[in-house]
Amino acid sequence: MTRTTVPTAFITATDLLAAIQPADGGRKIFDPATGGTVGRAPVHTAADLDAAVAAARAAQPEWAALGHEKRSEYLNQAADAIDASAEALAELLSREQGKPLNGPNARFEVGACAAWLRATASFVLEPEVVVDDGESHAEVHYRPLGVVGAIGPWNWPMMISVWQLAPSLRMGNTVVMKPSEYTPLSVLALAAVINQALPADLLHVVSGGREVGEALASHPEIDKVMFTGSTATGKAIIRSSADTVKRLTLELGGNDAGIVLEDADPKAIAQDLFWGAFINTGQTCAALKRLYVHDSLYDQVCEELVQVAQNMPMGVGLDENNVLGPLQNKAQFDIVADLVQKAKDSGAKVLTGGNPESGQPGYFYPTTLVAEIDNDNPLVAQEQFGPALPIIRYNTVDEAVEMANGLDVGLGASVWSSDPAKAREVAARIEAGTVWINKHGAVDPRVPFGGAKQSGYGLEFGVAGLKALGTPQVISC
């Protein structure tokens, strides 16, 4: 099994589109910032899924036989291919998803794809000796599963695809991906670039609708499903996968809480608080979505956040000056607008934003900060997944922790304090898969990541993430 082609640099998004669009037909994909047409995506069917799975199944044994070292070489070559086409990938991503080129957005996402591949290639996974007492010896090994089905979201379509495909391939599996119907071009383009560096049939993308996703989740020849998306869809995947007892890794919805303790420095943390909440214009599963601030600091934190928010330009992503973009689709725009309106109707105070301009193209919702809001308000209790942050006042740490833990989700959370030891004490009381201190949403390829409660199960990233893409086998003698 050898690399089949020499990676070619795609110079522009037009070059990429020429490589991935169907010769005729397909489905129009629109730019959420301008309403213009980005390109056409193929409309695959369950039969196309069957063909992709069959090809991936046939290629998997030879790929698995290469071993970790050789597979890691291929992952590094794939990272090189991404670097060679990075600007074209970022341009297409910005046009399809809406996120700006600059800031923690399109260029950042493409760079993260290459970095994640290289990090995944570097992890050492050795057999684990669990007993060696002179009489018995037992080791745990991790063998490839076979074919992994990956279903991705529209908010970070390229990066989350790499989170799924990199460990899958590294562990000797092959991959069939189903991208979001909103952002298929980004994933098709990413796969086209990566596949320049990989042997044939290891990575397939099937661009279809809900019926394709349902067929993937129940497919008898798919051994594991990885999914990032809503809790409701995750539950449907669990049901669809039951008959074939598939392994699952589910990263589902979150409504991450942040707690600002009374010893925090509002000015020092304001910038990080802002990006914890508004990275990708708030369209991030592990973004800060409800902020609890001690009464003694409440007004100052609000003032500092307003200052930051009012200096962050929002607009079309291809404009180099912008760092915030539109909501990716009208359905999400309507959710954010409805939740903010409910907050207004309840008497909450809008500090900035809250009034989208009418008549302009694109799904732009202004950066919105809402104060003096009750904890049971829909903007707090429901995941907004957009650029609107409710700020809730509290008086005691016990009260803040109780409110933070009061929902049935627990993906991430954060504690903000000038006293690291005190922050750790509070962090240990929060029911979330990850709790950051003085930052929020800072994922790292070396650090395991997964949700608590209804935010999913299974771990991604690091050696733990590799193990989740393998079948443990105990060899005992």
Q: Residue 7 is encoded by which pair of tokens?
A: 């990676």
Please report, as a single letter, which amino acid is at residue 472.
P
- Beta bridge partners, 314, equal 324
Nearest alpha-carbon partner for 203 in 157, 168, 246: 168
Query: In degrees rounded to 5, what are phi and psi of residue 420?
Result: -60, -35
DSSP state of 407: S
Tell me the C-alpha distance between 142 and 123, whole Å.
Answer: 14
For residue 202, the Cα-to-chain-centroid distance in whole angstroms is 22
Which amino acid, 316?
A: V
On whether the CB atoms of residues 287 and 441 are closer than 8 A, the answer is yes
* Bridge partners of residue 434, in order along the sequence: 412
Cβ-based neighbours of 35, under 8 Å, separated by 6 or more: 361, 362
**Which residue in the list 91, 251, 304, 383 is annotated as catalytic?**
251
DSSP 454: T
Q: Which residue, chain included where needed, has tokens 């070059």?
A: 15
Write phi, then psi, for 109 (nearest 5 degrees).
Answer: -65, -45
Task: From residue 117, give the alpha-carbon distance in Å to each of 185, 304, 461.
Answer: 20, 37, 11
Q: Which amino acid is at 356?
A: P
User: What is the residue whose two structure tokens read 């733990």?
Assistant: 464
DSSP string, 239-254: HHHGGGT-EEEEE---
Q: Are 270 and 301 in contact, with CB atoms under 8 Å apart?
A: yes
Instruction: Check if the beta carbon of residue 225 is closer than 8 Å to that of residue 151.
Output: yes
Residue type, 174: T
- What is the enclosing helix (H) or strand (E) of 296? none
Neighbour count for residue 67 (Cβ, 10 Å): 9
CA distance 202 to 186: 18
Q: Is 251 a catalytic residue?
A: yes
Q: Do 475 and 130 form a contact (C-beta atoms < 8 A)? A: no
Largest CA distance in the chain: 78
Q: Cα separation of 274 and 388, whole Å?
A: 11
The residue among 319, 324, 262 whose CA lies nearest residue 296 is: 262
Look at residue 424 and give its three-state secondary structure. helix
Active site residues: 251
